A and B are shown apart, each in its own frame.
Chain A
Amino acid sequence: MSGTVLLLLPMILPFIFGLIIGFQKEEKQRNTLVFIATAIEAGLVWYLCMGDHSFLLWQITDRLSLAYHTDGLAKFFACLISTIWLIAAVFSMEYMKHEHKPERFFMFYTFSLGALMSLCFSENMMTLYLSYEFMTILTAPLVIHTGTPEAVRAGLKYLGYSFFGAGLGLMGFFFLNTYCETTSFVAGGTLDMALVAGNENLMLIVFFLMALGFGCKAGMFPLHAWLPTAHPVAPSPASAVLSGIITKGGVIAIIRVTYYLFGVDFLRGTWAQTALLVLSIVTIFMGSMLAYKEKLLKRRLAYSTVSNVSYVVFGLMLMCPAGFMGALLQVVFHAVAKNILFLCAGAIIYKTHKTFVYELKGIGKEMPIVMWTFALASLSLIGIPPTSGFVSKWYLAQGGLMPEAGVLGLVGVAILMVSALLTAGYLMSIVLNTFFPGKDFNYASLQKKEPNYLMTVPLVLLSIAVVGFGMMPTPLLDIISSISGMIF
C-alpha cells in the first residue's frame, strides 16, 4: 500500500453506511443517516479533489493492480456525481415514503455511490472494469425495486445489456494488456506502437467494440434498448440517477479508453472514429424521434436521455478540443437537467399518480415550483440561452464544424439542431399544456399540490445550477480546458 489512504474512504464509507442504513426501519433515523452518508461523501470527495492523491490498493501482478488516483477527469466526474447524489438523496427521502422497503432502496443507493466513486477514481483499466461491473450489479436492485414482473424483466434486460457491453470491454482489456505499455491511464494514450505496427486494423476493431460495449451504458445505438425499459419502472429518484449519472459511467469508460489508452493520435481519421460518429448521430436522431412519439412521461424522458447522452459520445468522437469541451459540458448540464426532469416526474407521480403526458393539463397551476423547474430544465435540454444547454451545444457545434470533421461533422451538427427541435416538440408541449390549460379549463378543480421542501429544495437548487452554469460557465470551462490540455 502506498499513497494517501484517505483516497480509499470514498469507496469504503458508502458500503459501511449502506449496511447500517439497510437495517434502519425507523424513517427519521434512516433519512438522517442517508443525508449524513451522502453529505460526508460529497464533502470528502470535494476535499480530496482539492489536492492530488493516489493510492495503490493491491499490486496483483507486475502489470495489473487495483489503484486509485485523482487526475483532472477523476476529479471532474467525482465532484459532479457525489454532489448530485446528495441532492437526489434528499428528494428520495420524501418520494420513497410511498414505496415499500425504502431501507433496501437506500442501501443500494448508497452502495452504488461507492461503486461510482471507485469508477471515477480508478487509475487503470483493471480497477475501472471491476468498478464498472459493480456499478451495474449494485444499481440493478434500484431498477427492480418495485418488484413487479415488469420491473424484474426490465432489471434483467438492464443486466443483460450491461453485462454484454462490459463483456466487450473486458475482451478489449485482454488485447490492451498485450498491446499497451501499461494499462494505467495516461493522458494521450499508452499504445506500444512497435507492437501495434501491422496490427492497426485489429486494434481499431478492438477499440470499436470496446466503445460499443461501454456505449451500452451511455445508451448508444444499437445497445440502447435497456434505457426506455428500465427507466419507467424504477422509482423516480432511481431513474433520475440512472439517467443523469449511471449513463455517464459509460461515458467515463469511453473517455478513459479513447483518450487515456488508445490515444486520439492513433484513432483520428480512422474508420472506427467514423463508424462511432455515425452511430452517435443515428442515436441522437432516433432517441429524439422516439421521445417525440412517446406518450408515457418517464419513457419519453428515457428516450430523451438516449439522444442527449449521445451528444456526449458525438463530441468525444470528434476527437478535437472543442468537441471534448462540448462533451464534458454536456455531461454536467445533462446530468443536472435530466435529474430535474425525472425528479419532477417523480413529484408528479408522488402527488397525483399521473404518468401520461396528456394527463398533465393544468398541473403547472397546482405545483408551480415543480413545473417551473421542469420548464427551465426543458429549455436547457433544447439549448435555449441563457440556460446551460446552449453553452454545451455551442462547443459541440464548434467541434463538429472543424474542417477535419468534414461532412459528417456538418451532418452531426444539423442533426443536433433537428434533435433540438424535436426536444422542443416533446418537452415544450408538456410545459405549455401544464401552464396554459386553456380558457375552458375548470380552475375550480385545482388544488394546491406543491410537494414539501424535501422535494422542492433539491429541484430549485438544480435549476439554479441549470441557469447559473449557463450564464457563468467560465469556471467549468477552465477546469475542462485543463483536462483537455493534458490530452491534446
Chain B
Amino acid sequence: MEHIATTSIVLPFLVFFPFLGAVVSYIIGRSNKGARDLWTWILSAVVFVASLMLLGKETVYEISGFCGLGMSFAADGFGMILAVLTSSIWLITTLFSKEYMAAERNRNRYYFFVFLTLGATMGIFLSADLFTTFIFFEIMSFTSFVLVMHDEEEFTMRAAKTYLAVAVIGGLVTLMGLFMMYQKAGTLNMNELTAFMQAQENPGDFYAIGVLILFGFAAKAGLFPLHIWLPNAYTVAPAPSSALLSCLLTKTGVFGTIIVSCKLFLHDAAWGNFILILGIITMVMGAVLAVFSVNLKRTLACSSMSQIGFIIIAIGMQGLLGEHNALAASGTFLHFLNHSLFKLLLFIGAGVIFMNLRELNLNKVRGYGKDKPLLKFIFLMPILGIGGIPLWNGYISKTLIHESMVEYIEVLAEAGQSTTFMHCAEALFLFSGGLTLAYMTKIFVCIFIEDNPYGVAQSVRKGPYMSKMMAVILAAIAILLPVLGCLPHQTQDVLAAMGAHFMNAHTPEHAIHYFAWVNLKGAAISICVGAVVYFLFIRKVLMRKDAQGNLVYVDCWPEWCNIEDKIYRPLLLTVLPYIGGFFARIAGNLLDGIISVLRMLIFNDDNGRVVPPEDKYFSAYTDYEADHEMYREGFATSLLLIGIGLTVAVIYIIVG
C-alpha cells in the first residue's frame, strides 16, 4: 500500500459530529420524543455514510494544541475498516433501540450518552497517537458507564460501579505508563514510538512501562484478572448497549493491546509470551464461566470474554513469531471483526427475547423460539460461526490463529527448543473452541429446540416479536456470515490484508488452504470436545431434576470463586482505606494534638499559670443590632485595629 496520506476533514467529523449530535438529540428530546428518535436515526446514518467516505485512501488530520499536546487522527486500512464497523453497528443498534427502549424511562439520557460514546469510540479507533487514544478512552469509560447503569436496579448499580471503578483505576495506571513513556521518548505518536523502540538496544527496560500502559486497555478488554466487571456489566446493560459493549467498546481495549504489542513491542518474543499467557487464561476462564451460566446474556458476556482471549492469543503469537507473523496478524484482525458480527446478532437477538419476556434466565426463556424460524436462523448463524464450524467465517479466523500456533511449534522444534508449553497452549485453544460450541449449543437447544415443561412464557408485548425492519437487517447480516466463510479468499483475506499494515505485519506469502484436511482437523477436534462436554457435562451435571421432576438448568458456579467479592472489594473498599485513613488521621491531627497537649500543660491551675477567662462575648460579634455601631466593638473592629496597629508598628520600626 502506498503511504501517501491526505488530510481529510472526515476524520474529525466522525469524532466530533456525534458529540454535537448528542447535545442536539438531548435538546430535541426534551420536547419531542418522536423527533428525537428520528434525529438519532439520521445522526447515525450520517456518521455511517461519512465513515464510508474514508474507504480507499489513507487519511490523517491534526488538531494542534488540543488538551496541551494536540490531537492527531489517522485512518489506514485498519482504521477505516474499524470506523465503518463502528458506524454500521451503531446504526443498527440505534435502529433497534427505538423498539427496545420504548418501555424504559430516562431515554433522553440514554441517547445522549450513546452518541457521546460513539464519538469517543471513533476517536479511539482513528487516533494516531496514544495521547489522543487515551483522551477518548477516558471519555468513553465515563459515558458508557451511564449506558450500563441505565435501569438503575440495585444489581445494575453494583455492576456499573464495578465497571466504572475498573475503568478509572485502569485509566490512571495507563496514564502513569503514558507519562513515563512520554518522558522517555518525547512523543506518543504511534509510528514514532515504533521507531523509538526499534532504536532501543534493550527493550526489556520498557516492559514495566508497557505493562502500565497495557493495564487500562487490558481492563477494558476484560483480560484476566481484570475481567471482573465484564460478565455483570454486559448482563445488566440494555441489549443495544450490551451489543455495543461487546462489539466495540471492549474492542477498544483489544485495540490498545494491539498498539502496545505491535507498535511498542514489535516482534518481541518475551512480550508476546506474556500476552499469550494472559490470552490463554482469559480464553479458558471465559469459556468455563459461559458453560456454567444459566442466564442468556451472561453466557454471551462470558463468551465475549473468551473470544477476546482468542484475539489476545493471536496478538501474543504475533510477538512470538516475529517477522513471520502474517497468519497471526490476519487472525487477530479477522477474529476481531468476525466476533463483532456474531455478538451483534446474538446480543440483539437476546434483546428481542428480553423485550418480549422481560426475562433472561434460561429456565424462563426455554422454548420461546420453537415456533420462530427467523429468530432461530438469526441465532443459528452466529452460533455456527463462533463455534468455528467450517464454511462459516469464525472458522476462517480461528484457523488462522490455530495455524500460527502450529507454525510456531514447528519453528521451536526446528530450533531444538521445548515445545511442551506451546502444545499445551494449542490443546487449550482447541478445548476452548469445544467449550464455545458446548455453551452455544446449550443456549440454542434451550431456546429453540426444547419444550418448556412449565409452558412457554407469555410475551409482554403486543404485535410481532420484532419489527420488520430489524428482521430484514438481522437476517441480512446472518446470511453474510456463511458467505464470508465460504469465500474466504475473496472476502476475509482482502480484509486481513488491509489491516496488516497497522500491525506492522505483512500479508501471507502464499494463500492459505482453509479447507485442507490439516486445518479441518482442528475444527473436528473442537467439535468432538464440544459434543462430549455438552452431552456428558452440561446435560448430566449442569441440569438437574427440580421438585416436579423436570430437568432444569442450575447454576453450579461455586460461590467462593468470585474474586471481585472475595478479594477486590474487601481490599479496595475496606482494608486499604482503613490503613490509609489511619495514617492520614495521625498526620491530620498532629499539630492540633500538640497544641491541645501544650494547652493542658500550660493553662493549668496546678502550676499556678494564668487561666484565660471563658468569656462568651470574647471575640464574638456583639449581639445587639445597633445599626451604625456594629463596627465599633466586637471582633471585626479588633481585627481592623490590629491591622492598622501592625502597619504603624512596622513603619515605626523601619523608619526608626
Contacts and interface: CB of A to CB of B under 8 A. Distances in A.
Interface residues of A, number: 71
A387 to B, nearest CB: 9
Contacts of B628: 23
Contact of A384 (B138, B176, B642): B138
B408 interface: no
Given A289-B580, A289-B584, A414 B176 contact: yes
Interface string B160-184: 0100100011011101100110110
Contacts of A285: 580, 584
Nearest to A63: B654
B374 to A, nearest CB: 33
Interface string B632-654: 00011001101100110011001
B67 interface: yes
A141 B636 contact: yes
B339 to A, nearest CB: 29
A6 B95 CA distance: 65
Given A152-B619, A225-B592, A436-B149, A386 B176 contact: no
10 contacts: A108-B636, A137-B643, A147-B620, A152-B635, A222-B590, A390-B67, A390-B135, A420-B172, A424-B168, A439-B154
Interface string B564-594: 0000000000000100110111011111100
A417 B175 contact: yes
Contacts of A141: 635-636, 639
B581 A289 contact: yes
Given A60-B654, A104-B630, A156 B591 contact: no
Most B C-beta atoms less than 10 A away, residue of A397, A436, A474: A436
Contacts of A101: 630
Contacts of B151: 439
A391 B156 CA distance: 33
Interface string A22-64: 1101000000000000000000000000000000000011001
Interface string A389-410: 0110111011001100000000
Nearest to A379: B142
A155 interface: yes
A385 interface: yes
A292 interface: yes
Contact-residue bracket for chain B = 35 or more
Given A104-B636, A289-B580, A473-B65, A61 B655 contact: yes
Contacts of A386: 66-67, 135, 139
Contacts of A108: 636
Contacts of B281: none
Contact of B142 (A126, A130, A133, A384): A384
A385 B149 contact: no
A60 B179 contact: no
A477 B68 CA distance: 8
B640 to A, nearest CB: 8
A267 interface: no
Nearest to B137: A385
Nearest to B141: A384
A377 B258 CA distance: 33
Interface string A301-326: 00000000000000000000000000
B152 interface: yes
A357 to B, nearest CB: 15
A64 to B, nearest CB: 5
Interface string A97-125: 00001001000100000000000000000
A156 B152 contact: no
B153 A439 contact: yes
B437 to A, nearest CB: 37
A425 B620 CA distance: 38
B347 interface: no
A438 B182 CA distance: 42
B480 interface: no
Contacts of B68: 391, 394-395, 473, 477
Interface string A122-152: 0000100010011001101100100101001
Contacts of B55: none
B182 A471 contact: no
Contact of B639 (A137, A289, A401, A420): A137
Contacts of A470: 67
Contacts of B179: 394, 397-398, 401, 413
B196 interface: no
Contacts of B621: 144, 147
A144 B583 CA distance: 31
A223 B589 CA distance: 10
A431 to B, nearest CB: 10
B135 A60 contact: no
A141 B164 CA distance: 42
A472 B67 CA distance: 6
B134 interface: yes
B16 to A, nearest CB: 11
A221 interface: yes
B211 interface: no
A454 interface: no
A170 B646 CA distance: 13
A121 to B, nearest CB: 17
Contacts of A437: 152
Given A379-B142, A397-B179, A398-B182, 17 more contacts: A61-B655, A141-B636, A144-B621, A225-B592, A286-B587, A289-B577, A289-B581, A293-B584, A384-B171, A385-B139, A393-B175, A394-B69, A398-B179, A398-B183, A420-B172, A421-B168, A474-B65
